[in-house]
A and B are shown apart, each in its own frame.
Chain A
Amino acid sequence: MTAVKKYPVLAALVLGALFMVLPFAVVLMNAVKSPDEYSSDGPLSLPDGLHLDGITTFWERVDFGEKLWNSVLISGSVALLAVVLSVFSAYAIGIGRIKGRPWVLAFFVLANMLPQEALVYPVYYLSKEAGLYDTRLSVIIVFTVIQSAFGTYLLASVLSGFPREVIEAARIDGATKWQVLWRVVVPVSRPTIGVLMVLFFIWTWNEFLLPLVMLVSDDVQTVSVALGVLQGQRDMDATMTNAAALLGVLPALAFFLVFQRTLTRGIAVGAVK
């Protein structure tokens, strides 16, 4: 590649990347404007100063702290429980090599791809019957199972390459299957388990349809649902919309910066491996 051609390509890529992050910049710029400034100067001017009233007003109006806590509680519980469930199932499939293994595995993969539209109404109905409707627990249970479908599939294929000698050695030394799982398999698989926990946390954080249907009361809603519902009702003015966008973007941005490598690695492993 000659130097003449190299710079246009680089410039085009940088422009493209700027276009991708431009919406974030515009949101940040306008979230710190006062309503007067916004209506007189429009969305494209640089802010005069730091005006945080819009954000604090929005925070208090939707009780954003509570929404954040709900999201953390739900996503955290799902990440933990779904990993445990995945480890159990994957242990049986990948290490135990139970009979009908390919079929069991195919079942988990298909379950993972099933559109939630085909589950949402019965889940809604059953949770009402069970008295779990409009509770965070219902969403935790449902997503623990949905996410563990992917986890089982990924972990089982990783574990099927686990060195048999290690397990045999532990078994001959008298370790039970339970001990082999927790003292040998889990510690060795920690990197994969870590990737799974991060993915489950972020996926659950971003989920929309099922939490929208299941969580109707204000005090149990997640960040995604609360913001989506507000936007869907179309009763926010420009400054509020901006504050909402900024507060919604920030946690995602934080996860992204912290977990960037885990995420991109995990996505690549999950899709092609």
Chain B
Amino acid sequence: MAAVLTKTATDAGGSPPGPRRRPARAGRPRSEGSYALYLLPGALAFLVVIVVPFLMNTGISFTEWSGVGTPEFTGLDNYEKLLGDEDFWESFRHSLAMVVAMAVLPTALGLVLATALFDVVAKHAGARWASVLRACFYLPQVLPIAVAGIVWSWILAPENGSLNDLLGALGLDGLQQDWLGDPDWALYSVMAVMVWVQIGFPLVIFMSGLQRLDPALHEAAELDGAGWWRRLWHITLPQLRPEIAVVLLWCTIAALKVFGMVYVLTGGGPGGSTNVPSYFAYQNFFENFQAGYGAAISTVLTILIMVLAVVALRLQTKAEDET
């Protein structure tokens, strides 16, 4: 900290030595304090709300604790138990499904939609159309996840649910399912809802990314007779690479954190068929009163996310340097 506090002294060195400057007292040590003081409230708040709880959580993960009384130190027991816990591995397999639903599919669909909106709609039907359509796709992103969950659980309900009714009305009774209550279907239903929730984010990012591309390249390729798909693949895609990387990583991180939708739609069920690490940790904390085990699950999840976050940050700074 002391090193930080002395920094201000050299700050004044940046100004040009003008002829009428008041005789600077050596290094201008003002009595008003240094810039680092302005970091103090933030640093203290982060210490109390983020750093200390995070360290506590890591500590708890090495103990057996019900949440009351004294935690009993058990070393790596919780982590050993995790490795052999089929429910834990299953929850992580569902995380992979969420990565497909929230990162892979939305990125792919978002790319096609963004280029279509940008190329076709904005150019031939007007910018207003493009922004109205973009707004439609983005809308689910501002909806509280709990509310989106209510909407979908009602649409996907087996009795009198809109989807089953629609299938019935089309004469497709055979396709009707208990979408969220059937262990074979529940995960796919949750995935479909997450695609709906997530797609607006890549779309908005890609549309703003497309604006910085040079239209001349596109026009040249069009004159040379390259079709729309080929131009998307060979020209747009390589140029949007920084955006794509950032979106994929951000969405993957979001997919690993999924909690609210599972809580509201399925409660992890039926029979654990839609459980995810975040919900699994919550169950251990607040339903099974196994705080130590819950803390171990969340620590593993945190490590995974932090590794991805560091990669994301590196890519982002690289992308910034290039532009």
Contacts and interface: CB of A to CB of B under 8 A. Distances in A.
Interface of A: 1, 5-6, 9-10, 12-14, 16-18, 20-21, 23-24, 26-27, 38-39, 42-44, 85-86, 88-89, 91-93, 95-100, 104, 106-111, 113-126, 141-142, 144-146, 148-149, 152, 164, 168, 171-172, 176-178, 181, 202, 205-206, 208-209, 212-213, 223-225, 227-228, 231-232, 238, 241-242, 244-245, 248-249, 252-253, 255-256, 260, 263-264, 267-268, 271-273
Closest 4 CB pairs of A and B: A96-B35, A248-B147, A228-B146, A122-B53
B299 to A, nearest CB: 7
B228 A5 contact: yes
B239 interface: no
Contacts of B121: 9-10, 13
A121 B11 contact: no
B93 interface: no
Interface of B: 3-4, 7-8, 11-12, 14-15, 21, 30, 32-39, 41-43, 45-46, 48-50, 52-54, 56-57, 60, 67, 113, 116-117, 119-121, 123-125, 132-140, 142-147, 149-155, 157, 160-162, 165-166, 169, 196, 199, 201, 204-205, 208-209, 228, 242-243, 246-247, 250, 253, 256-257, 259-260, 263-264, 267, 277-278, 281-282, 285-286, 291, 294-295, 297-299, 301-302, 305-306, 309-310, 313, 316, 319-320
A178 B32 contact: yes
Nearest to B38: A92
A141 to B, nearest CB: 7
Contacts of A253: 139
B41 A88 contact: yes
A108 to B, nearest CB: 8
25 contacts: A9-B121, A16-B137, A20-B139, A20-B196, A23-B196, A85-B41, A91-B38, A92-B37, A97-B11, A113-B253, A113-B305, A114-B305, A117-B297, A119-B54, A149-B50, A177-B35, A209-B278, A212-B263, A225-B146, A227-B147, A232-B267, A245-B150, A268-B208, A271-B205, A271-B246
Given A117-B298, A168-B14, A96 B142 contact: no
Given A10-B125, A98-B39, A232-B264, 12 more contacts: A1-B119, A1-B120, A1-B123, A13-B133, A23-B151, A43-B160, A88-B39, A88-B42, A117-B298, A122-B53, A272-B208, A272-B209
Label chain B's interface by main secondary structure. helix
Contacts of B57: 118-119, 121-122
Nearest to B280: A117
Given A85-B45, A115-B301, A249 B137 contact: no
A253 B142 CA distance: 8
Contacts of B140: 20
A1 B242 CA distance: 27
Given A113-B253, A228-B264, A106 B259 contact: no
A238 B154 contact: yes
A88 to B, nearest CB: 5
A89 B44 CA distance: 11
B302 to A, nearest CB: 4
Given A245-B147, A249-B147, A252-B143, A115 B45 contact: no
A26 B162 contact: yes
Contacts of A181: 38
Label chain A's interface by main secondary structure. helix
B32 A115 contact: no
Contacts of B256: 115
A202 B316 CA distance: 25
Contacts of A122: 52-54, 56-57, 60
B111 to A, nearest CB: 14
Given A16-B137, A89-B38, A209-B259, A118 B299 contact: yes
B145 A206 contact: yes
Contacts of B294: 121
A12 B81 CA distance: 50
A138 B187 CA distance: 34
A131 B16 CA distance: 55
Nearest to A23: B151
B313 A109 contact: yes
Contacts of B291: 121
Nearest to B169: A44
Given A89-B42, A141-B49, A117 B154 contact: no
